[in-house]
Amino acid sequence: MFSLMFKRIPGTKDILPDEADCWQEIEGISRSIFSLYNYREIRTPLLETSSLFDRSLGRSAEIVQKQMFLIKGKEDIFALRPEGTAGIVRSFLENNLDKTYGFSKFYYIGPMFRFERPQKGRLRQFQHIGCEAIGSLDAALDVEAVSLASNLLDAFSVKDYKIKINSLGCAKDKEGLASRLKKAFRSKLTALCQECRERFDRNVLRILDCKKEACRQAAEELGIGDSYLCPECKSHFSQVKKGLDSLKINYVITPQLVRGLDYYTRTVFEITHKALGAQDALGAGGRYDNLVKELGGPDLGAVGFAFGVERLLLVHSPQSTVHSKNLVYLITLGEEAKKEGLKLLDSLRKNGIACDTDYEGKSLKGALRKANDLGAGYVLMLGEDELKKGTVALKDMASGIQEEVSAVNLVQALKGKICLRPIAAVN
Ligand code: AMP
């Protein structure tokens, strides 16, 4: 008989429980590091009006041109957000946070959507962990953002990453650079790849960060350096570099780093890892001093960055398997013990002890095997004998040592052995 099996959409991922443990670890570390820097969480909708992204990322940006998932509404076109910054600035302004808080720091964790050709490290739905600090032009904030990104990676135990930084200058500098590039590349178009020939009309700066050898060489031959930066932007960049030096952060000045979005100004940075292959960026960000104004708000400088969780997980080794080691597995023998077991599990959970039992009617041997497969740290056995004596058999799965514990002292005995889960209230 024909049976229909649904498959996930290419470029999306099922995060199964083993992997979800790693996600929780990354997310938990992020939350605590962000709070050390006084960033607070913001959650904005996955759906926004598509024109928000045209306006902020720029109509010519590859994401806007080719990668947005669009949904036609009755009067409007919605987009599944391809990145977090635009929605956060929209929310900042719509909720008058500029007036309530002034300078504000936000972090976010959530899915982004881009209609890309799926490959390793490139998905159509992926998870960003990112932050935005809105309301300052201070170069110290750029330094803080890069150092925060670097501290996050250290806390995730990611090694051997490379921080690349550059300054795009202010909007005027960017315009100047674009027109210089247009002049310079016009006569060299045949030397560029097909994509860069399109970029020449659409977004000429992007030619600079093309990874193809011919385009890279053509860009290098121009010898542009930082000659397009005005004195203020040069001084800003020099303060950023000095700040990073004072924190002993290793970085590489990378003139080819231009980022694809219109909103970036001055400092931009990207963090790469060679183990990732072609899609080697773990995260990226920078300053965007014109976006708040562009979206109808006051003239406020801002800095932000985002990491891709799927790529972090490709280079991060999980620290712990807290879940299983702290699990207690109860095996009951007989109907009476099963009833008592229900109450025992309830009392353990109310005391913050993670536990489970057999719901498949397994034999003692089968249930022990299950506890072992789950990686449970301890097994409790409750049969007629134990019921009569008011005790429980407690087996340490690592050492195999078994002891008899009085049922009333069980919680206390386990508390000394395992890591407790946070609980709202203890009865
Ligand atoms: P971006 O907003 O393009 O600067 O991306 C920031 C980070 O998000 C990148 O460095 C990647 O780690 C991650 N990322 C971006 N696009 C994708 C994608 N299509 N699939 C998986 N991760 C992505």
Residues 6+ apart with CB under 8 A from 124: 9, 10, 11, 12, 69, 113, 114, 115, 116, 118
Question: What is residue 202's predicted lDDT score, i.e. its pLDDT?
Answer: 87
Nearest protein Cα to ligand 1, atom 8:
308
Question: What is residue 407's predicted lDDT score, i.e. its pLDDT?
Answer: 95
Smallest Cα–Cα separation from 272: which of 291, 246, 254, 255? 254
**How far is ligand 1, taken at its centre, from the CA of residue 283, in Å?**
7
Question: What is residue 318's predicted lDDT score, i.e. its pLDDT?
Answer: 59
119: helix, coil or strand? strand
All CATH 3.30.930.10 domain ranges of the chain, comma separated, are 17-165+255-315
CB 328 within 8 Å of CB 414: yes
**How far is ligand 1, taken at its centre, from the CA of residue 164, in Å?**
16
Residue ranges with strand state E in 146-201: 161-167
**How far is ligand 1, taken at its centre, from the CA of residue 362, in Å?**
46
CB 224 within 8 Å of CB 172: no
C-beta of 276 in contact with ligand 1 (< 6 A) = no
Reading the chain (427 residues) residue by residue, the pLDDT tens digits are 567 899 999 999 999 998 999 999 999 999 999 999 999 999 999 999 999 999 999 988 989 999 999 999 898 999 999 999 999 999 999 999 999 999 999 999 999 999 999 999 999 999 999 999 999 999 999 999 999 999 999 999 999 999 999 999 999 999 999 999 999 999 888 989 998 998 898 889 989 988 889 998 888 888 888 999 999 999 999 999 999 999 999 999 999 899 878 899 999 999 999 999 888 999 999 999 999 999 999 999 999 999 999 999 999 865 544 446 689 999 999 999 999 999 999 999 999 999 999 999 999 999 999 999 999 999 999 999 999 999 999 999 999 999 999 999 999 999 988 866 655 443 3
C-beta of 281 in contact with ligand 1 (< 6 A) = yes
The DSSP line for 408-424 is GGHHHHHHTTSPPPP-S
Q: How far is CA 263 from the centre of its chain?
A: 21
C-beta of 112 in contact with ligand 1 (< 6 A) = no
C-beta of 304 in contact with ligand 1 (< 6 A) = no
Smallest Cα–Cα separation from 312: which of 164, 111, 165, 159? 159
C-beta of 114 in contact with ligand 1 (< 6 A) = yes
149-188 residue pLDDT tens: 999 999 999 999 999 999 999 999 999 999 999 999 998 8
All CATH 3.40.50.800 domain ranges of the chain, comma separated, are 322-415
Nearest protein Cα to ligand 1, atom 13:
308
Residues 6+ apart with CB under 8 A from 151: 33
The DSSP line for 345-402 is HHHHHHTT--EEE--S---HHHHHHHHHHHT-SEEEEE-HHHHHHTEEEEEETTT--E
CB 409 within 8 Å of CB 351: no
Separation CA 1–CA 316 (nearest Å): 44
C-beta of 61 in contact with ligand 1 (< 6 A) = no
pTM of the model: 0.89
**How far is ligand 1, taken at its centre, from the CA of residue 250, in Å?**
22
Nearest protein Cα to ligand 1, atom 11:
308
**How far is ligand 1, taken at its centre, from the CA of residue 314, in Å?**
13
Domain 322-415, CATH = 3.40.50.800
Structure tokens at 401: 């040592």
Question: What is residue 410's predicted lDDT score, i.e. its pLDDT?
Answer: 96
CB 375 within 8 Å of CB 349: no
Nearest protein Cα to ligand 1, atom 1:
284
Backbone φ/ψ region at 131: left (φ over 0), alpha (ψ -120 to 50), beta: beta
Question: What is residue 421's predicted lDDT score, i.e. its pLDDT?
Answer: 62
Structure tokens at 8: 């996930």
Question: What is residue 328's predicted lDDT score, i.e. its pLDDT?
Answer: 97
Q: Which atom of ligand 1 is nearest to the CA of 306?
A: 6
Structure tokens at 114: 């881009």
**How far is ligand 1, taken at its centre, from the CA of residue 280, in Å?**
10
- Report the residue among 85, 122, 315, 316 best suited for mutation to probe ligand 1: largest number of ligand atoms under 8 A from its CB: 122
**Max CA-CA distance within the chain?**
93
Nearest protein Cα to ligand 1, atom 9:
283
Chain length of the chain: 427
Nearest protein Cα to ligand 1, atom 17:
122
Backbone φ/ψ region at 375: left (φ over 0), alpha (ψ -120 to 50), beta: left
CATH level 3 topology of 17-165+255-315 = BirA Bifunctional Protein; domain 2 (3.30.930)
For 283, phi then psi, to 5°, come to -170, 165
Residue 189 corresponds to which amino acid?
A: L
302-338 residue pLDDT tens: 999 999 999 999 998 655 444 466 899 999 999 999 9
Smallest Cα–Cα separation from 234: which of 143, 173, 184, 310? 173
Residues 6+ apart with CB under 8 A from 74: none
